[in-house]
Every structure is written in structure tokens, then in C-alpha cells.
Amino acid sequence: MIRFATIGSNVIVDAFLRGAAHDPRFAWQAVYSRTQERADLFAAKYGITKTYTSLQALAADPQIDAVYIASPNCFHAPQAILMMEHGKHVLCEKPLAPSLEESQAMVCAAQKHGVVLMEAMKTTLLPNFARVREALPRLGTIRRYFAQFCQYSSRYDRFKNGIIENAFRAGMGNGALRDLGVYGLAPLVHLFGMPQQLQASAIRLSTGVDGQGSVLMTYPGMEAVVLFSKISDSRLPSEIQGEAGRIV
């Protein structure tokens, strides 16, 4: 049994808890939120009694084995490193951190303290991804990878009305690339490795955060295009094209 605390109280934590409830090894012990009010509200929703508003206190709790971190991206690295320094395993929402440097610091901390650090991104671990990988040889020479994740954000309506939430606030490490683009990029890198060349563009909102973007990458004999947006919707499917066939 692994005794978990959660950091954050947004809808993604609800989704995480719904999933974790299916695993009898998962024992949810404590809630952290920045304010006592939110911590109490979230804990009460699930009948949990232990709450924290201090990360130091949470890190020092010997009754906690692991933490699930779902705070704004800019807090992932400092929070995860603090927890790992206290011997706690970390399951961190994607992206691990907004920068390569911070991500590397997190990996170093995990190695130094002998704990598990895992990014909570499951797409490449699902059975359908394994099926895609198995099907690739039947496509012949692979020529194109196309993926998109364009989903109009409800927060963007509020943004246009002058209410700027974390998702669109500068300095929080968010934006369309980190929030949605990764879902197209991660499977690409898992299947084909790093590209030889990369070209990209983005539409930046008034806060400087990217609301939308496009990435064009080249591999030997293959091109990849990944599109993402939080300010418009798409119904296009993703597609891998080979000379002998395609997967949609």
C-alpha cells in the first residue's frame, strides 16, 4: 500500500483520484492546498481529514510515502524536489517542469534520494499506443506523422472578459504547447526519437502565453507536424502515413 498526499485541488486531481480508487494499493491520506479553506473543502468532498497548507509540514510527515503534484507548472520542480529530499516518491503532472534545466534538477533529485519520479502522462503507456507501434511496420516507409490537439478552453472565454486564470497567466509555465502540444509530441518522440530539424510558430496572447502553436519537424525521409490550440477547436484526427498505408 502506498500512502499518498495530493498537492492541488483542481479538476485534474478529481480525475486522478477517480482512477487511483481502482487500485487497492493506493491509500489517499492528505490534502495540500495553499489556503486552509480550499484544503478543507477538497478534503471534505472525499471524507479525508488530514490537510496541509505548509509544504514543509507535508514533506516532514512520516505517514506519507508519495505525493501527486497537480499545481501550476511553475511550482512542479520546487515542490517535487522538496518532497524527494524528504524521501517521498513523486507522481508529477505533465509537464514535469517548464524548462529542461528544472526537469533535469528533478531527475537528479530522484536519483540522489533514491525515490521514484514519474510524469503523470499515460498516453504512450496505453494499450492503443502499443497497437499503433505494432502496426507501423505494415505501413511501409513512414513518410508523415500528423497529430493535433486543439480544444477551445473555457478559460479563454473568461480570458477575453478580462479574467486571467492560471492557465493563461504569464510566468506560470503554462500555455498551449505545454498543456496540449505535448500530447502530440510525446508519442512522436516515443515512436521516432528526436527530430533532425524543427520549425515552429505560435500565436501569443496579450499575457505572452501561447494560445496556439504549430511545429514542423523533419526526420530522415519523414516529416512530422503537430498542431495545438487552446483558442480554437479541431475535429481532425491524428494520422501516420506510410508508403503502403496509414493509421488514423
- Minimum CB distance to its own copies, residue 16 (Å): 30
Q: Identify which range of 23-31, 44-52, 184-192, 223-231 contacts its own copies by CB under 8 A.
A: 223-231
Classify 171 as helix, strand or coil. coil
Please return the burial class of 16, using the count of CB atoms within 10 Å of its CB with bins 0-12, 13-18 and 19+: buried
Total site size for its own copies, rule CB under 8 A: 36
Q: Is 180 in the site for its own copies (CB under 8 A)?
A: no
**Does 174 participate in binding its own copies (rule CB under 8 A)?**
no
143 binds its own copies (CB under 8 A): yes
Pairing label, strands 142-150, 239-242: antiparallel
Ramachandran quadrant class, 140 (left: phi over 0; alpha: psi -120 to 50; beta: rest)? left
Residue in the structure block whose three cell numbers are 480544444:
151
From the list 29-37, 44-52, 113-121, 216-224, the region that binds its own copies by CB under 8 A is 216-224
CB nearer its own copies, residue 46 or residue 152: 152
C-alpha R_g of the chain: 20
Q: Does 239 bind its own copies (CB under 8 A)?
A: yes
The answer to whether 9 touches 33, Cβ cutoff 8 Å, is yes
Closest to its own copies by CB, 72 vs 187, is 187
Q: Which of 106, 144, 171, 181 is the binder for its own copies (CB under 8 A)?
A: 144
Among 126, 135, 163, 236, contact with its own copies (rule: CB under 8 A): 236
Under rule CB under 8 A, residue 207 binds its own copies? no
What single string gives the DSSP state of each residue in 219-237?
Answer: ETTEEEEEEEESSS---PP
Amino acid at 155: R
| Number of Cβ atoms within 10 Å of the Cβ of 128 | 8
Q: Site residues (CB under 8 A) for its own copies? A: 143-144, 146, 150, 152, 156, 197, 199-201, 203, 212-214, 216, 218, 221-223, 225, 227, 229, 231-237, 239, 241-243, 245-246, 248
